[in-house]
Structure 1
């Protein structure tokens, strides 16, 4: 009887010890992915919770790819905010310009696109941002390129007046959407069949997410992370970024 009692007490302790041995790494997030730790905890570089190295294989297979289309005059925070969110979520992000020439965003920062519209690989998510949106929205070649990728694009994500680019590609027809607060009426004129809302941080139609202006892109990105990886992950990223403005109730999820 004593031996049985000993076994009953010892087995859970042994199992717990086994779970805590092994090599731990960050989930896919950046340069610190290759650092190996020998006990569970938090990565001192990025703050992400460490996982057993074997489990990262499945995570890598589920890695979401996001195409950030940038053009001259793109608003910096429009794309930099979501970039921060998606990178901490471990998504694979690449930038595309009409050509591979440097893009000057907001007139102050030059970004060299990873690809041009001639050689960009497919992506799960297409993201477009505001600023001098007419540069992209009024370019038939760019609009045609976006349409040509529709069959392989699972989701669309626009920030601020980037919604006008999606509108010209025919992606907002009959949807409930939002955009920069000063452009609500203009977008309504461009897409008469859409319902364009003010005073909402983002609108999720399932395949298409549009956000209000500039900083609202962070909220929309966190919402998309919550959809794909869970609300706990979105809140963890918001805390890591010290972004305390994320309130899911300020967005609208359209029920279909």
Structure 2
């Protein structure tokens, strides 16, 4: 091929392209994502140094008391050794990637995607972006249903930057915020937030934030200094009476 074609390829004109093809688009947390990365050569041969797949999620973080949208790389893998793609050559490389338990469910404004990038020396690197539909595990779904059966309504779901005490475990957390509809709970609680810390087929570890309703002058002072929030760390197993276990934990913070 001519030098002219190589120069054009270096600035992205007539260069190699990449397209990631997933075997399916919907996945459950802890499932393995599989597919192939298809590379098609351009008008001239090019050296492909590396192909990277990176799992991303959007999230919200606070900067100077303002909420801004950001994105977090949750996992990245390299799927090849260096090779040369010839002009107009088509090559497929299979891959598999485990979904970590911290990946958020794609509900509300939460989005998850795989970014594919080719590392081509002295050239503009082509890339591809594929969105995933992430569903909760069976046990996580059972936990959320049990909370609603206790008398709470799911108000919103946000993916946010992990608080400082959790950042050694994860960059982001997905918060399920519930508002009480039960008269008994309404007397004591403002809201309930649940974060899934670890998930497997047989167990889930959750963090429950209980926001107690202010009662009297002492209660208002507690709210003023953010002392009205209590935390419960709880592991729920598949054979547990989930609703009863959650009720016991929540009610322990109402006494």
**Structure of greater relative contact order (alpha carbons < 8 Å, 6+ residues apart):** 2
Give the TM-score band, short-chain normalised: under 0.3
Greater strand percent: which structure?
Answer: 2
TM-score normalised by the chain length of structure 1: 0.24
Of the two, which has the highest radius of gyration? 2
Greater helix percent: which structure?
Answer: 1
TM-score normalised by the chain length of structure 2: 0.24
